Structure 1
Amino acid sequence: MTLELEVLDESAMQALGGQLGEALGWRGSIWLEGDLGAGKTTFSRGLIRAAGHVGAVKSPTFTLVEPYSLATGDIYHFDLYRLADPEELEFLGIRDYFTENSLCLVEWPDKGAGILPSPDLQITIATQGSGRRLHISAGSSAGQTACKRLQGEA
């Protein structure tokens, strides 16, 4: 199942992040793809704040992962942009983050090819005028359910 959405501004992108986090039940994995500045971190910020985080949500560009322990569960926000080799994820203990009780957001997932597990949702963000166009693909039954929930079908 795939969805095509238009997002007009930053607040709409953050709201969509929250809606998709809730639609997934705050569990699973979301891959975020797009050029620098496309809105991957903005989407993540909205999701993390909707899950209950109060305060700054920074991009984990230099730390690779930022953990958030919230009432909804654990959320791990990855930014793999600076990753030189996917094997580095093994040293990070990547498999320990992807559990049935966590939600993992992964920016630049192509940098972890061959190591990362398949996503529940894969989101590609492209600039469209002053807004963004999102292509959302479900990669699992949980992802399909989330897409249906987002459309108001489930």
Structure 2
Amino acid sequence: MGVAGCGKSAVGESLAAALGAAFVEGDRLHPPENVARMASGEPLTDELRAGWLDAIGGRIAAAIADGQSVVAACSALKRGYRARLLGFCPELRFVYLEIDAETARRRVGSRKGHFMPASLVDSQFATLEAPTADEPALTVDGTGPISDIVAGVLDELRTKTS
């Protein structure tokens, strides 16, 4: 989880591969209306995110019901969004990829073929409620190499399940 450009997809795909887990790309579950709004530079409201979060939560729950491990990439910017996802899977754990606004703008601005414009990065930071100690979340530096981030997350997961 985290703002646009923090590395959710890249880290999520690598983490899923390392765990032998299914991967859910949250961006692919946005309805066309949400994609069009973001592409035109309009940030999403809580109401517009609700169905999207439910689609992600549903995919997570379905994978678990099928006996699969699953990793999902989703911004989950607010505590309430994370609580909504936890409603689908109470044992869900979040990995918050923390980055600064300048890095996010640079990364989003250099992406090719993605609907999210760099002009929306500031709105992502304005919406962001970083996870607090009472949430099931691990905060990691999202600016490091993907392999290092994944190794750190795997170490943390092993520690918590031992």
**Structures share a fold, TM > 0.5?**
no
Structure having the larger proportion of residues in helix: 2
Bigger-Rg structure (1/2):
2
TM-score (norm 2): 0.37
Structure having the larger proportion of residues in strand: 1
TM-score (norm 1): 0.38
